A = this chain, B = another copy of it.
Amino acid sequence: MSEAPPYSAVRIDVVRLPGAHSERDAVAVEEPLEIRINGEPIAVTMRTPGDDEELALGFCLTEGLAPRSAAPPSDLAANTVEVVADRRPVARNFYTTSSCGVCGKGALEAVAVEAAHVNAELRVAPALVSGLPEQLRAAQAAFAATGGLHATGLFSASGDLLCVREDVGRHNAMDKVVGWAFGEGMLPLQEAVLCVSGRLSFELVQKAAVAGCPVVVAVGAPSSLAVELAADRGVTLCGFVRDGRVNVYTEPWRITE
């Protein structure tokens, strides 16, 4: 497994009611990050600091921009990452926040990033799927302190946790994991399962599909468009994975003993 995520909380004063006693408490850190491609600012995302290069790489990968590398800029601008990529976004400027992912598209019909149909032959046992959220939660160092962070975990087909990342933005946590996998030479993720701590939106399924991942698991509910996109891309979508139960919304043939 990759190294543990950095401690992503700060301590602030809080007044607790009833009683009105003042205490110190931990909150999740949220700060803007500017992503530049080939020197040009293309996105601002509100993220939890840490693994910024992986975040920028994952963002560019899942936006279809074919990144090659990411590093702090030569002028050492704070909260900025410089990406070298083969493509530029369609729109000159696009901007993201705590759960963006379809940014940079110029029209409704262009919201979806091009992604091949996921055709991995992977099979996963139901018991393995139902145990993933607990493994993810156990690895969430920062959530325990703040209660304020989303997480994405990348698991092997045998259920080993390979990488976990946390962020105030759910799509940022996913981007960080995909960026990490890119650095490890693991893309496409044909033999892996992605598990997210919250709900499944369109953009999370899109990012997983672009990364080639055949199985996506969530503690929470999927949206209608998340289910639609998963069906279109051939991704197996599991939601409400709690207390030994699993709802399989698409491609249930992959979940088998």
Q: Report A's interface with B, CB cutoff 8 A.
A: 9-10, 12-18, 20, 25, 27-32, 34, 41, 44, 46, 79-80, 91-108, 111, 126, 129-130, 146-148, 168-169, 171, 199, 201-203, 220-227, 240, 244-249, 252, 255
Residues of B within 8 A of A98 (CB): 99-101, 201-203
- The secondary structure that dominates the A interface is mixed
* A130 to B: closest C-beta gap in Å: 7
Q: Which one of A20, A168, A249 has the highest number of Cβ atoms from chain B below 10 Å of its Cβ?
A: A168
Instruction: Assess whether B14 is in contact with A248, with CB atoms less than 8 Å apart.
Output: yes
* A45 to B: closest C-beta gap in Å: 9
In the complex formed, the residue of B with least CB distance to A130 is B17
Instruction: Assess whether B44 is in contact with A201, with CB atoms less than 8 Å apart.
Output: no
Instruction: Assess whether B97 is in contact with A220, with CB atoms less than 8 Å apart.
Output: no
Instruction: Assess whether A93 is in contact with B93, with CB atoms less than 8 Å apart.
Output: yes
Instruction: Assess whether A247 is in contact with B16, with CB atoms less than 8 Å apart.
Output: yes
* A173 to B: closest C-beta gap in Å: 13
Instruction: Assess whether A248 is in contact with B17, with CB atoms less than 8 Å apart.
Output: yes
